[in-house]
Amino acid sequence: MSAYDELMAFTRETEALAQVAGLLSWDQETMMPRGAAAQRSEAIGAMESVLHARRTDPRLAGWLASAEAPDEGGAAQLRLLRHDHERAVRVPGDLAAALARLTSHAQGVWAEARAADDFAAFAPVLREVLRLKREEGAALAAGGDPYDALLDGFEPGARADDLQAMFDDMRPALVALRQRALDAPERAPLCGDFDADGQMRLARELAERFGYDFSRGRIDKAVHPFSSGGGDDARITTRISHDDPFNCLYSTIHEVGHACYEQGIDKAWHLSPVGHGVSMGVHESQSRIYENQLGRSRAFCHFLYGRMRDIFGDIGVADEDSFYATVNRLHRGHIRTEADEVQYNLHVMLRFELERALIAGDLQVDDLEDAWNARFAADFGYPVGRASEGVLQDVHWSVGLFGYFPTYSLGNLYAGCLHEAMRADLPGLDDDLAKGEPGAATGWLRENVQRHGGLRTPRETIARACGGKAPAAGPLLDYLEVKFGALYPA
């Protein structure tokens, strides 16, 4: 057996064990008994110890030094394995296990603190998570910027300074468009009590229409919707709000975008580094284009309006135009996951700058809630009412995902580029969407992005799909101006 074959056989077992670890985390969020939290933390910590030992196994260095790639896919496997191995060997095993145990515990603490609107109850464990993440960032950076090192784990090759420049370029246009909309009379949301069973029935239908394969996946409920797993076991969650069915429906479409990316990767690459989405930014491009450019389009809203009336009867909206405007209404609000397309990136910018300051030591946990509230008031023009609407609304910091937030906006940028290229290739797309048939669009994405997995770098993946055009903010800003300029004319 060649060095390459030995390396890939070892890697396949590691990937299979990582799937088991992922199932432990999925179960913790969906079905685990509440009293099992401490025991689950130990189980997750033990699994992380096993995985870290495999990812730092001394044989890996030898295999990587002598392995010869048989083809383009093999070269990508080696590139990704070298990247991951270099990161793994920089982090001590006891630190990796401690982080896994602590973040599993911290997730439960966060959920209880969020329910109680009590940041003080969460602050001590967040302080510990931050301490360990600073250690991890410093180990990974090897003298460089710890935040960049953490960011690299989610978006390989990205740098915080570059993202900050991107955000600074985007902010003026977003703020101006938002202000124009918010100066207009605010459109009312849907009004009513929407049956939970009806919401879940429609959510499953939408998931199938967008290409989700239920023979290799499932939908469950969670506090914070997420996608988990990959390949032949890609699961999603959603949540129910009785007075806001869009929360369930669009969360479902969003997570289906993530899951379809994983399900769409060439099966030959399952249980290998190439058999995953190449980065969280590219992953987010799939969820955002499914949710927004497709799911919130005027054409698809024509279909969705009819289906909602079929299931719920009178939904308090007079006609299709009003329904489309309600789906896409710009509104004051505190919650990132419920934000409209224009303001969403402003929510991300807030989190990016706060977490960067936390990792750098320029902001301490004890001052985080006040810093959040002050920044939110400055950016959005109104105060935060309670912690669950502010600093406690997201699960990410509790589970140690520092460096993750900016990939949401990067995904929006990528989605804007992909949407522009897709529309050029599919001139009849709106006719299909109006019938509730997004298959041409999701097929285009599967062919041009999803099936390739990690074959190419993130930026190259997007550029190839867009006919060689490098990712840029222009297509996203143009799309937002056209769409929301029509909804909120000057």
Residue 282 is which amino acid?
V
- Confidence band, pLDDT 50/70/90 cuts, at residue 99: very high
Give the number of other CB atoms < 10 A from CB of residue 426. Answer: 15
Looking at residue 421, its pLDDT comes to: 98
What pLDDT does residue 1 have? 87
Strands 233-238 and 227-230: antiparallel
| Residue partners of 302: CB distance under 8 A and separation at least 6 | 320, 324, 433, 434
Taking every pair of Cα atoms in the chain, the longest distance, rounded to a whole number of angstroms, is: 70
Q: Are 130 and 358 in contact (CB under 8 A)?
A: yes
Write down the pLDDT at residue 2. 96
Distance CA 336, CA 326 (A): 18
Question: Which residues on neighbouring strands pair with residue 235, listed in sequence order?
Answer: 228
Contact 317, 449 (CB under 8 A): no
- d(CA 58, CA 357) in angstroms, rounded, equals 36
Structure tokens, 208: 């199938």
Q: Residue 303: its pLDDT value, please?
A: 98
Interval 416-447: pLDDT, tens: 999 999 999 999 999 999 999 999 999 999 99
| Interval 235-288: pLDDT, tens | 999 999 998 999 999 999 999 999 999 999 999 999 999 999 999 999 999 999
Yes or no: say if 163 and 211 are a contact pair by the CB < 8 Å rule.
no
pLDDT at 454 over 90: yes
Select which of 48, 255, 262, 284 is catalytic.
255
Question: Quick one: pLDDT at residue 131?
Answer: 98
Q: Is the dihedral of CA 474, 475, 481, 484 positive or negative?
A: negative
Q: What is the pLDDT of residues 360-390, one digit of tens each?
A: 999 999 999 999 999 999 889 899 999 999 9
pLDDT digits (tens, 9 = 90+) for 201-215: 999 999 999 999 999
Residue 192 confidence (pLDDT) above 90:
no
Residues listed for the chain = 490
pLDDT at 183 over 90: no
Percent of the chain residues past pLDDT 70, beyond the cut: 100
Given a cut of 90, whether residue 193 has pLDDT beyond it is no
* Residue that the structure tokens 């402003």 belong to: 346
Answer yes or no: 255 catalytic: yes
What pLDDT shows up at residue 182?
85
Q: Using 50, 70 and 90 to split pLDDT, how confident is the model at 337?
A: confident
Averaged pLDDT, 341-345: 95
Looking at the DSSP assignment, which residues form a beta bridge with residue 227? 236
Rounded average pLDDT over 10-23: 96
- pLDDT of 138 higher than 90: yes
HSE-up (13 A, CA, CB side) for residue 248: 24
Do residues 132 and 98 make contact, with C-beta atoms less than 8 angstroms apart?
yes
Tell me the average pLDDT of the chain: 95
| Tokens of residue 350, six digits | 């807030």
Measuring CA to CA, which residue among 349, 342, 316, 174 is closest to residue 246? 316
Residue 57 burial by CB count (10 A; 0-12/13-18/19+): exposed, middle or buried?
middle
CA dist 364 → 98, 104, 106, 128, 361 (Å): 21, 22, 18, 12, 7
* Residue pointed to by tokens 């290799």: 216
One-letter amino acid at 203 equals A
DSSP 8-46: HHHHHHHHHHHHHHHHHHHHHHHT--GGGHHHHHHHHHH
Contacts of 228 (CB under 8 A, 6+ apart): 22, 23, 25, 26, 234, 235, 236, 237
Closest Cα partner for 336 from 254, 458, 416? 254
Predicted confidence at residue 185, as pLDDT, reads 85
User: Which backbone phi and psi does 70 adopt, to 5 degrees?
Assistant: -80, -20
The CB density around residue 2, as the number of other CB atoms within 10 Å, is 12
Whether the Cβ atoms of residue 420 and residue 189 lie closer than 8 Å to each other = no
For 43-78, the pLDDT digits (tens) are 998 999 999 999 999 999 999 999 999 999 999 999
Give the DSSP H/E element, type plus range, for residue 237.
strand 233-238
Instruction: List the beta bridge partners of residue 228.
Output: 235
Give dist(CA 412, CA 419) in Å, integer: 10
From the list 71, 82, 109, the residue with the least C-alpha distance to 7 is: 82
